């Protein structure tokens, strides 16, 4: 890291070069895009145990250009609630908003942090929660999480996972949070627009980023953006947003791309008996449900 380099010292450079993340890490690209979207904002990050906190590095060095609080695995929403409360008690002299952003993995969100996540969402805490979803416990060697898709091989599901992925956005929508949305690193304009949208809203805002992990997914680092693009085009990872838990809006309709193209490029699915017809049916069903929800907007 060289903070003296004007490029790295620019306000939009949230994750500096020389960090510990693997090449092609979707989480790194997500952080880069987040930094660009927040270039004119004041904010701090709260990060639980995950690859994202390893990237912070050992004190007193850091790869992040904003203040970072490291929380225990299960409690980043509670930490962030406290930081937001302290900020409220100590407003900035220039009256600029000081945003608090949780940056957490799927393990810390779908599984071990679910209780504090639910509690902070129910209290409508004034925080932005971003889950970068690499669909495994990446930092500890790639164990399954409840975000791991069916049939994916992980170190704890060597024969392929039997269960389907949790619907985290719908879980958050059921808390009636003001805003929840999916993000893709293959759709930078949509990414920017939604972060700007969230900045206009107070209360609990939730994002889910599809974040390829070449190490755990057994994919080529150079394929990461193309993979998530295929996931949006085929409907495997739809782009949508939900206002107040009830008003759904689909941001990109699938274009008929066969999900097989997404699965074929990932070795975590090879050697598996993937029932592609079942995958396609589930994908179509999910999109049908999203369209129904979007048609019922109030
Ligand atoms: C209570 C507790 N259990 C287990 C761990 C070990 N641990 C650290 S990071 C991690 C995996 C985190 O997975 P995820 O949240 O998906 O983030 P990723 O590593 O994929 O970036 C685990 C199991 C821990 N730090 N604390
Ligand atoms: S293990 Fe995966 S999520 Fe973690 S830094 Fe490497 S590519 Fe990124
Ligand atoms: Mg993970």
pLDDT tens-digit series, residues 45-97: 999 999 999 999 888 889 999 999 999 999 999 999 999 999 999 999 999 99
Distance 165 CA to ligand 1 centre (A): 18
Higher-scoring residue by pLDDT: 270, 203: 203
Distance between CA 215 and CA 27 in Å, rounded? 12
| pLDDT of residue 298 exceeding 80 | no
Determine if ligand 2 sits within 6 Å of the CB of residue 287: no
Q: What is the mean pLDDT of residues 3-24?
A: 82
Helix (H, G, I), strand (E, B) or coil at 13: coil
Determine if ligand 1 sits within 6 Å of the CB of residue 143: no
Tell me, yes or no, whether 160 lies in a domain.
yes
Q: What is the mean pLDDT of residues 177-184?
A: 98
Tokens standing for residue 73: 């695995």
Q: Is 297 exposed, middle or buried (0-12, 13-18, 19+ CB in 10 A)?
A: exposed
Tell me, yes or no, whether 54 lies in a domain.
yes
Distance between CA 118 and CA 113 in Å, rounded? 9
Distance between CA 108 and CA 93 in Å, rounded? 34
Tokens standing for residue 22: 């693997």
Give the number of domains in the chain.
Answer: 1
**DSSP-assigned states of every residue in 39-85:** TT-EEEEEE-SSHHHHTT-STT--SBSS-EEE--TT-HHHHHHHHHH
Q: What's the mean pLDDT when you consider all of the chain?
A: 94
Tell me, yes or no, whether 1 lies in a domain.
no
Distance 138 CA to ligand 3 centre (A): 5
What is residue 137's DSSP assignment?
B
Q: Is 273 exposed, middle or buried (0-12, 13-18, 19+ CB in 10 A)?
A: exposed
Closest-CA residue to 180 (of 109, 240, 106): 240
Among 216, 223, 227, 266, say which to mutate for ligand 2: greatest number of ligand atoms within 8 Å of CB. Answer: 216
Identify the nearest ligand to the CA of 55 by its number: 2
Q: What is the mean pLDDT of residues 176-197?
A: 98
Distance 191 CA to ligand 2 centre (A): 21
Among protein residues, the one whose CA lies closest to atom 3 of ligand 2: 213
Tell me, yes or no, whether 200 lies in a domain.
yes
Distance 298 CA to ligand 3 centre (A): 34
Determine if ligand 1 sits within 6 Å of the CB of residue 137: yes
Helix (H, G, I), strand (E, B) or coil at 251: strand
Determine if ligand 2 sits within 6 Å of the CB of residue 50: no
| pLDDT of residue 250 exceeding 70 | yes
Predicted pLDDT of residue 278: 83
Identify the nearest ligand to the CA of 105 by its number: 1
What is residue 10's DSSP assignment?
S
Determine if ligand 2 sits within 6 Å of the CB of residue 142: no
Q: In what order do the strands lie in the sheet with 98-105?
A: 68-70, 42-47, 98-105, 128-133, 205-210, 179-184, 239-243, 247-252
User: What is the domain-level CATH number for residue 135?
Assistant: 3.40.50.970
Tell me, yes or no, whether 199 lies in a domain.
yes
Tell me, yes or no, whether 190 lies in a domain.
yes
Predicted pLDDT of residue 2: 46
Q: Give the structural domain span for 126.
A: 6-295
pTM above 0.85, yes or no: yes
Tell me, yes or no, whether 271 lies in a domain.
yes
Q: What is the mean pLDDT of residues 245-269?
A: 95
Higher-scoring residue by pLDDT: 211, 60: 211
Distance between CA 100 and CA 68 in Å, rounded? 10
What percent of the chain shows pLDDT beyond 90? 89
pLDDT tens sequence across 116-160 = 999 999 999 999 999 999 999 999 999 999 999 999 999 999 999
Tell me, yes or no, whether 257 lies in a domain.
yes
H/E segment holding residue 294:
helix 276-295
């Amino acid at each position: 890291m060289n903070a003296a380099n004007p490029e790295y010292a620019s306000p939009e450079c949230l994750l500096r070069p020389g960090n510990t993340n693997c090449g092609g890490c979707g989480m790194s690209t997500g952080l880069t895009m987040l930094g660009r979207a927040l270039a004119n904002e004041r904010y701090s990050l709260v990060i639980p145990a995950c690859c994202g906190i390893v990237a912070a590095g050992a004190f007193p060095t850091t790869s992040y250009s904003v203040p970072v609080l490291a929380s225990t695995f299960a409690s980043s929403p509670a930490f962030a609630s406290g930081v937001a409360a302290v900020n409220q008690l100590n407003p900035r002299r220039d009256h600029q908003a000081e945003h608090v952003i949780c940056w957490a993995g799927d393990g810390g969100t779908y599984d071990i942090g679910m209780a504090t996540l639910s509690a902070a969402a129910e209290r409508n805490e004034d925080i932005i929660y971003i889950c970068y979803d690499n669909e495994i416990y990446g930092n500890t060697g790639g164990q399954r999480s409840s975000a791991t898709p069916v049939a994916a091989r992980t170190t704890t599901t060597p024969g392929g996972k039997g269960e389907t992925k949790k619907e985290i956005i719908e879980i958050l929508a059921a808390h009636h949070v003001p805003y929840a949305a999916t993000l893709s690193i293959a759709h930078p304009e949509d990414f920017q627009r939604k972060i700007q949208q969230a900045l206009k809203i107070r209360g609990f805002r939730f994002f889910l980023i599809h974040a390829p992990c070449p190490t755990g997914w057994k994919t080529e680092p150079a394929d990461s953006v193309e993979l998530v693009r295929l996931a949006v085009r085929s409907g495997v990872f739809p782009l949508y947003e939900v206002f107040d838990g009830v008003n759904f809006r689909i941001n990109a309709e699938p274009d008929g791309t066969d999900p097989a193209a997404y699965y074929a490029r990932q070795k975590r699915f090879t050697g598996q008996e993937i029932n592609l017809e079942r995958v396609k049916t589930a994908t179509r069903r999910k999109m049908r449900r999203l369209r129904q929800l979007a048609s019922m907007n109030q």
